[in-house]
A and B are shown apart, each in its own frame.
Chain A
Amino acid sequence: MMELILLLQLSAATGRVSGQIDSACRAYCQILAIQDGKAMLIDQTPPFRDLDLGSYIAAAQPLVPRTEAPVRDLRSSRGWRVVASVFLDHKQSEVLTRIRFFDPGGVLQWKEVVMESVEESAIGTLFGGSDEVFAMTSNEEHAYNVLTEIWLLPASGRPTLLLTAPGTYQGFSDGRAGSAAGVMLARQTYDGVHADTKGIVEQFYAWNRTMKTLEPRAK
């Protein structure tokens, strides 16, 4: 009984929570934990909050450090595998998402850091044709903090970043039925300082199959 009491006291002293995989503390602690199949940010900074960062994907855990929690695991028909995991940035005391790109041979080709949580993601021949791409929108704290990245997944080598923009992707078109191939983005216009810049505008990015680029233009 005494050992149990001491264990509970020690647990309380260190602020450890159920399922904890990492923590970063200043005046208060931010804790990353896996609870009930979810990756959770337990933010002990007042006002306390438990933030759901997405469903935990145990099958992808061997591909990332134990201090990260996979929340997305996408595979393309050609064999690319993209794993997104949430982690604590100890230097900044913030939770972020890391994307890892594994080529069809299983080799890690690139790592990229995006915002706190994943809103949406897609993989495949999203622009029609044979080019495989990966798209992800991430967000943090406020609705205007949003980032979409779109990557070309080549037959071999590193993926290529096609687009990085402050917005959410609305949908992809594959170029059939007379429409241009590309992606429609809802771009946030806020500059982070002036309230009168807040807003959303639609912007279409057309896919250039020859140059392998996305170019803004009217749809």
Chain B
Amino acid sequence: MPFGELTNGAGQVFNGNPDANITFGIQILEGLYSSYGNNAAGRYVGSLGNVRTPTGFRPVNPNAQNREAAWTKWKNRLTALFSDKDCFYHKP
């Protein structure tokens, strides 16, 4: 494979249309949310499991586990932020 050539990813050819790409991504997020609730941050990236190797266990996809770990680290603060009614406060 020539240097710099990328795969299509997710079985979809990206044609350079950002709106189509964003729409596709949002659809995937909606599907993941239906299956996993708000614990799909890592799954949006890839597989979350571990596999056995001759030298021990390793993640199937380190990127996915890193993303999941980032979500786990920040989710309480993010949940608090988006639960804050004062974000939309206005005087009666």
A residues whose Cβ falls under 8 Å from a Cβ of B? 26-28, 41, 45-47, 49-52, 89, 91-94, 96, 110, 112-116, 119-120, 137, 139-147, 158, 160-161, 164, 166, 168-170, 186, 190-193, 200, 202
Contact = CB atoms under 8 A, between A and B. Distances in A.
A139 B7 contact: yes
Given A45-B34, A47-B28, A94-B47, A193 B53 contact: no
B2 interface: yes
9 contacts: A46-B31, A89-B47, A92-B49, A115-B61, A119-B1, A120-B1, A139-B9, A144-B63, A145-B64
B53 A164 contact: yes
A19 B25 CA distance: 29
Interface string B32-70: 101110000000011111011111001011111111001
Given A142-B10, A145-B45, A158-B54, A47 B27 contact: yes
B67 A192 contact: yes
B11 A51 contact: yes
Contacts of B3: 170, 186, 200, 202
Contacts of B64: 145, 192
Contact of A141 (B6, B9, B35, B36): B9
A197 to B, nearest CB: 10
A139 B63 CA distance: 12
Contacts of A110: 54
A115 B60 contact: yes
B51 A112 contact: yes
Given A28-B31, A45-B31, A192-B64, 17 more contacts: A28-B35, A47-B31, A50-B11, A51-B11, A52-B11, A94-B48, A113-B51, A114-B51, A139-B9, A141-B45, A142-B10, A143-B8, A145-B61, A147-B61, A158-B54, A192-B62, A192-B70
A113 B60 contact: yes
A135 to B, nearest CB: 12
Nearest to B73: A193
Given A142-B46, A143-B6, A192-B45, A170 B1 contact: yes
A116 B66 CA distance: 18
Contacts of B24: 47
Contacts of A137: 1
Contacts of A158: 54
Contact of B53 (A47, A49, A161): A161
Given A28-B34, A140-B47, A191 B63 contact: yes
A193 B45 CA distance: 10
Contacts of A145: 9, 45-46, 61, 63-64
A160 B52 CA distance: 14
Contacts of A28: 31, 34-35
B12 interface: yes
